[in-house]
Chains A and B, each alone.
Chain A
């Protein structure tokens, strides 16, 4: 599953790492517009980007797009199927499913992007330091190994059980879950890049370690990191939905795709639309994110391409 998540990431990573060699020259900034053009040459990537764009617009302009408030309950239109008045039907409290879907995009995107940025920053710091400072390497990486010894959704559930349900706690828990995967990736690219002659020269010239890490190593290992981050967005979105579905995520009164699926499952016999629409939107969003990741990998990191 998706919750299955970071294990799938690391599996994909293992495939990618086996035949990747970091070539510092290929990621020079001068070629930026060239790779962007190559990215847009792939129709699958373009369609996926459009899908993600629609989700972003839904999240940003939710009050303008949603026909009514996501929490407005009209007792006279409970459990109605899709119609002109209610495009995707209504739920058991008479709330408009489409409006709730539009607002649900907010939580999914906030969690997906927030977790990726936080885990990306923390994981990069840990990975850079572990890969560059040999004394700290075993301590940092054993800790990361320890955190990766849990199935990711289980660790997230356990943290949520202690912190209690809230959107911020979901963000915290998933950041803890996904930081180690990033740290592992950044460490492995750091180990390769630190062998490069220009890093040696920088050291000889007398640059400080933090300067070398920030100015030389990190930018040159950016391509695989960006690719990995798009997958983390997808996994964070699935994980948030899983947590909310289990009742351990975002509080039930807030409209999220996971919460809607939770409500929908119990009423499946009477109202299929309550589960089918949020699930489909979730699936399409995650699929688009994964496909953008694949497209980015083909362009940024061609050597790791799987035929």
Chain B
């Protein structure tokens, strides 16, 4: 097991190096001089020079890269051009809303996806099963930002049951925080819930045909105990990979959802930084989210191997 984890960690090094090259290269994709682009047309040549210096653009490219990547390893992404504070500080201030939003969306995904998948598999072919499949397919096709807008329109504007937008810190007033996160978390988690439900359903159908399920029924166990205690426990293992990939999707989707609901997280910061041409912020945020994504997938893979010892050999 430990050998597996070490092997996986080592295999991350080239991937993260490429991630670093891509993120570093982003600034140099800009047509023309990045410093000039950041400051706009009205900047003086002096200002542009000073910014070039601050961004280290006067050094040769390999030196720039080494400087940048050695900063990244120390979690130092440089100074924000617009906010006038270190990028790391700006990101730290915004990491909590993003993490919470992703976490709530994940809970919603699990709370909807697993029961629906089990229920559909147990009642295979029924009207409910077909309706659930239809909902799952539609869920995958609805863009999260459109779902978010529709929720705001119905529950925020027309019915006025929930506050339409905004964010309250959980430490400040938890119930206000919770109420404001309901719609964002639902709009983000819903589409992944459909995918999870389909996955749980198909692996439940596989498992339900196994001999030990027949044995469990034959020895007179209650239907509920067979389904939950025997079948779901085994059917859940393949679903773990789907949860891993969807946490990643949720992280990406959070970028858009934060903008729809004006939640002050990292995604909203990235989107605001586009117009401000605040490249250090964009680089830092993208780097951090990519790292989080890679680590989440690593943890999920380890859990998967832990849950299903057969994989360890291969």
Contact = CB atoms under 8 A, between A and B. Distances in A.
B138 interface: yes
A179 B145 CA distance: 24
A265, A276, A290 — most chain B CB neighbours (10 Å): A265
Interface string B170-191: 0000000000000000011001
B256 A8 contact: no
Given A1-B188, A4-B191, A4-B192, A149 B15 contact: yes
**Prevailing SS type, chain A contact patch:** helix
Contacts of B274: 157, 160-161, 246-248
A276 B137 contact: no
B112 interface: no
A177 B157 CA distance: 36
A247 B146 contact: no
B199 A142 contact: no
Contacts of A196: none
A4 B145 contact: no
A189 interface: no
A198 interface: no
B253 A147 contact: no
Contacts of A164: 30-31
Interface in A200-253: 234, 238, 241-242, 245-248
A24 interface: no
A27 to B, nearest CB: 24
B143 interface: yes
Contacts of A163: 29-31
Nearest to A160: B274
Given A4-B252, A7-B245, A276 B143 contact: no
Interface stretch (A30-38, A78-86, A99-107, A280-288): A280-288
Interface string A141-157: 01101110111111101
A149 B145 CA distance: 23
A14 B244 CA distance: 12
A8 B274 CA distance: 26
Please classify how large the interface on chain A is, using the bins under 10, 10 to 19, 20 to 34, 35 or more.
35 or more
A149 B294 contact: yes
B304 to A, nearest CB: 11
B131 interface: no
B16, B31, B253, B257 — most chain A CB neighbours (10 Å): B253
Contacts of A12: 195
Interface in A11-26: 11-12, 14-15
B252 A153 contact: yes
Contacts of A158: 23, 26, 270, 282-283, 286
A246 B202 contact: no
A3 interface: yes
B18 A241 contact: no
B236 to A, nearest CB: 15
A282 B143 CA distance: 8
Contacts of B277: 161
A248 B249 CA distance: 19
B263 interface: no
A15 B199 contact: yes
A254 interface: no
Contacts of A306: 198, 202
B149 interface: yes
Given A3-B252, A161-B26, A247-B275, A11 B143 contact: no
Contacts of B286: 150, 154-155, 158
Nearest to A151: B252
A3 B202 CA distance: 25
Nearest to B286: A158
B146 A283 contact: yes
5 tightest A-B CB contacts, nearest first:
A151-B252, A146-B18, A1-B144, A4-B249, A287-B141
16 contacts: A1-B188, A2-B141, A4-B252, A8-B195, A11-B199, A154-B251, A154-B270, A162-B27, A163-B30, A164-B30, A238-B143, A247-B271, A265-B149, A268-B157, A275-B146, A286-B143
Given A150-B252, A306-B202, 11 more contacts: A4-B252, A8-B245, A149-B293, A149-B294, A151-B252, A154-B267, A158-B283, A162-B29, A261-B145, A264-B149, A276-B150
Interface of B: 14-19, 21-23, 26-27, 29-31, 137-138, 140-147, 149-150, 152-153, 157, 187-188, 191-192, 195, 198-199, 202, 205, 241-242, 245-246, 248-253, 255-257, 259-260, 267, 270-271, 273-275, 277, 279, 282-283, 286, 289-290, 293-294
